[in-house]
Amino acid sequence: MKTRTQPVKKAAHVREPRTLVRLRLEKLCLAVEGRSPNELIHNAQSAVKEARFIELRLDSLPKPADALPLIKKFLHANVGVVALATCRRKANGGGFTGTLAAELDILAKAAEAGCQMVDLEIESAEGAKAAQLETLRAVRVKTKKSAVAGAAIGAVSSHNGAQTQEEQAPVALMISYHDYQRTKNLLKVAERIEAFEPDYVKVVSTAKALVDNLAVLELLKRRSATSQMVAIAMGEEGIVSRILGPREGGVFTFAAPSESKGTAPGQLTAYTLREHYRFEQIDAATKIYGVFGNPASQSLSPLMQNTAFRKEGVNAVFLPLKAHSVEDLVALFQELPMAGAAITMPFKCDVLPHLANMDAFTQKTGAANTLRMGADGKLYGFNTDVAGVVRPLERRMRIAGAKIAVLGAGGAARAAVFGLVAQGAEVFVVNRTQEKAVALARKAKAKTLKADKLAKENMDVLINATPCGMIGSKAALPLAKNELNAKLVFDLVYNPLETPLIQLAKARGIPTISGLEMFVQQGVQQFEIWTARPAPEAEMMRAVRHALEEAREKKG
Ligand code: ATR
């Protein structure tokens, strides 16, 4: 290796690296659209109540140029708001039908109107002449700055005549890449963008599997020291990248204003990100949990467990994780890595071969609904569905010796039957398909009973472990009305809160337990397994009940 004694003289053609424009940005950028200039500004008005950083999607307007005077007025009135102007062309996934020159012109004018950042898609950057790009970058943004120390105070009081002064600054150029199909070659894409030395780099792909999030997070980890970068995977499977991106160095993430649906698939609202996922508090020490399933978005586990983490001051976040295979699940769990997870349909059984060890009920039922990462980096499986059935009952009665009918022979029924037999109950499996009832009863040391015999047997408890009565299920009742003969009815279905079976029992004066209790109790035990501390049960129950009631009201 050569040793250099003299500093090397720079060749004349070697340019100094560009000094990047660094804006002070909030971690959330709210994307704002409108069908008319007035609607865009109206939506921007509501967005700035939630965040001081907004993206104005000029390409959502039929004539973007018409909005520029209103944008200027709006930004002058809202000192401290940072606006990013986007006018993406149709060929590149946006809504703008004009030419490249027209796009560049609108972005330059938007900057003159006060937008401190402009987004140019990579296809446009590559299509433009160097001089055209330089013209755009040379635009000076005139913004009002509060003369009072502390911009936020100035911003608020500017309406009341507080002193402000005008400031000029170079516009920040963001160059963006969007892949609406998949997540591939992200590093190459980033290099393609970085060749232009933009102030901000934005790489957006589409997640087809959970592991795609790992590629996005890896990109951020590797590049964020040298580039001001945003990287996101769109789609329901990409939620991990939206929430954890800033932790890996992403400068911000995109969100939809709370009242809207969002401008990109998988985009979350500002409210959900802040209140639900406590996005701004996520740091290197935050433990990651989630529920794996397919579907996953309707699961109430994220709401319940995030509520519990917040109440108990646990630095953790719980995400809905739509998995396409058990391999996808295991890869994300181990490589993210995650501290624990809830497992739901259809992975409860498939996950077993990946476990280093499991509790007795997972072994017996052949299904795990809970994972914990051991200190050895291995996966441990638990079945807390059993506790979900047993705990609500043992609070009300002595289970040992009780006569209990379990309707169904699927996964939920297995948890109930094995759990109750272990407590000493006399359990009768009642199922539409008799062979399945016989097989389960034999394995669990329970008995079987034909449905038409239920009327004659006086059961202490009748448990519904079929999907009958569940929202969207065709069958309302899991048995004929005259077959109901029990001292207590426990319906494991929790949506709706009051199922036809619960209604029937109530009408007959029979005490009931709703599936909500099972759902919360299985979650309570999960929380205890993950954190080794008591769960805030009442808080968890309240959050889930409230969400179910709200959903019912919305449905009308
Ligand atoms: P889970 O894992 O949620 O318990 P599952 O494994 O699909 O769901 O099991 C559903 C159970 O409910 C099964 O025992 C099913 O009966 P079959 O074994 O005859 O399929 C039962 N089930 C589903 N729909 C039913 C209906 N309309 N009436 C009675 N039983 C029903």
The percent of residues above 90 in pLDDT, for the chain, comes to 88
Does residue 12 surpass a pLDDT of 80?
no
* CA 409 to ligand 1: nearest atom: 14
**Is pLDDT above 60 for 220?**
yes
CATH code of domain 287-383? 3.40.50.10860
CA 250 vs CA 26, 88, 202, 354, 499: distances in Å: 12, 22, 9, 32, 45
- Lowest mean pLDDT of 26-35, 161-170, 285-294, 541-550, name the range: 161-170
- For residue 264, what pLDDT is reported? 74
pLDDT tier at 43, thresholds 50, 70, 90: very high
Is the model's pLDDT at 148 over the cut of 90?
A: no
Calculate how far, in angstroms, residue 432's C-alpha sits from the geometric centre of ligand 1.
Answer: 8
Residue 410 CB less than 6 A away from ligand 1:
yes
- In DSSP notation, 53-89 reads EEEEEGGGSSSGGGGHHHHHHHHHHSTT-EEEEE--B
The answer to whether 257 and 227 are in contact (CB under 8 A) is no
Which pLDDT tens digit goes with each residue over 186-209? 999 999 999 999 999 999 999 999
pLDDT tens profile 332-391: 999 999 999 999 999 999 999 999 999 999 999 999 999 999 999 999 999 999 999 999
Question: What is the number of the ligand 1 atom nearest to the C-alpha of 412?
Answer: 4
The answer to whether 348 is a known catalytic residue is yes
Task: Look at residue 258 in the predicted model and tell me its pLDDT.
Answer: 83
Evaluate: CB of 76 within 6 angstroms of ligand 1: no
Q: What's the rounded Cα separation, in Å, for the pair 427 and 419? A: 10
Task: Output the pLDDT for position 551.
Answer: 85
CB 293 near ligand 1, within 6 Å = no
pTM given for the model? 0.91
For the domain covering 386-513, report its CATH number.
3.40.50.720
Residue closest via CA to ligand 1's atom 18 equals 433
pLDDT computed for residue 490 by the predictor = 98
**pLDDT higher than 70, residue 150:** no
Q: Ligand 1: does its nearest atom lie under 6 Å from the Cβ of 389?
A: no
Lowest mean per-residue pLDDT among 4-8, 69-73, 330-334: 4-8
432 in contact with ligand 1, CB cutoff 6 A:
yes
Q: Whose CA is nearest to atom 15 of ligand 1?
A: 408
How many Å lie between the centroid of ligand 1 and the Cα of residue 409?
A: 7
Distances 197 to 125, 162, 190, 452, 544 between C-alpha atoms, Å:
11, 38, 11, 76, 48
Q: According to the CATH classification, is domain 21-173+250-281 in 3.40.640.10?
A: no
| Ligand 1 atom at minimal distance to the Cα of residue 432 | 19
> Taking residues 521-544, what's their average pLDDT?
98
pLDDT of res. 154: 33
Q: Where are the alpha helices (DSSP H) in 396-510?
A: 411-422, 434-444, 500-507
Model confidence at 158, pLDDT cuts 50, 70, 90, reads very low
Record the tokens describing residue 306, joined without a space: 């995030």
Look at ligand 1, atom 9, and give the residue with the nearest C-alpha. 410
The minimum-distance atom of ligand 1 relative to the CA of 345 is 2
User: Residue of the nearest CA to atom 7 in ligand 1?
Assistant: 410
Answer for the pair 107, 120: CB distance below 8 angstroms, yes or no: yes
Ligand 1 atom with the shortest distance to the CA of 408 = 14
- Ligand 1 lined by 305 (C-beta under 6 Å): no
Task: Evaluate if residue 507 carries a pLDDT over 80.
Answer: yes
Mean pLDDT of 203-220: 98
Which protein residue has the closest C-alpha to ligand 1 atom 5? 410
What is the pLDDT averaged over residues 421-441? 98
CB of 400 within 6 A of ligand 1: the answer is no
Whether 468 lines ligand 1, by a CB cut-off of 6 Å, is yes
Any ligand 1 atom below 6 A from CB of 366: no
Measured in residues, the chain has a length of: 556
Residue 411 C-alpha to ligand 1 middle, in angstroms? 9
In this prediction, residue 1 has a pLDDT band, given cuts at 50, 70 and 90, of very low
* Residue 122 near ligand 1, beta carbon < 6 Å: no
pLDDT digits (tens, 9 = 90+) for 97-141: 999 999 999 999 999 999 999 999 999 999 999 999 999 999 999
What is the secondary structure of 430-459 as a DSSP string?
E-SSHHHHHHHHHHHT-EE--GGGTTTS-E
pLDDT of residue 166: 79
Contacts of 14 (CB under 8 A, 6+ apart): none
How far is ligand 1, taken at its centre, from the CA of residue 330, in Å? Answer: 28
Q: Which of 343, 369, 431 is the best mutation target for the ligand 1 pocket, counting ligand atoms within 8 Å of the beta carbon and taking the most?
A: 431
Ligand 1, atom 12: closest residue by C-alpha: 466
Which pLDDT score is estimated for 100?
98
**Domain ranges (residues) in the chain:** 21-173+250-281, 287-383, 386-513
Of 41-45, 214-218, 507-511, 549-553, which gets the smallest average pLDDT? 549-553
Whether ligand 1 lies within 6 angstroms of the CB of 467 is answered as yes
pLDDT level of residue 417 (50, 70, 90 thresholds): very high
Query: Hey, do 21-173+250-281 and 386-513 end up sharing a CATH topology, with the first three levels equal?
Result: no
Ligand 1 centroid – CA 431 distance (Å): 8
Give the C-alpha separation, 420 to 408, whole Å. 14
| Mean pLDDT taken over the chain | 93
Residue that has been written with the tokens 């079929």 in this structure = 466
Residue written as token pair 């921007």? 44
Q: Which of 348, 456, 474, 487 is catalytic?
A: 348
| pLDDT exceeds 70 at position 157 | no
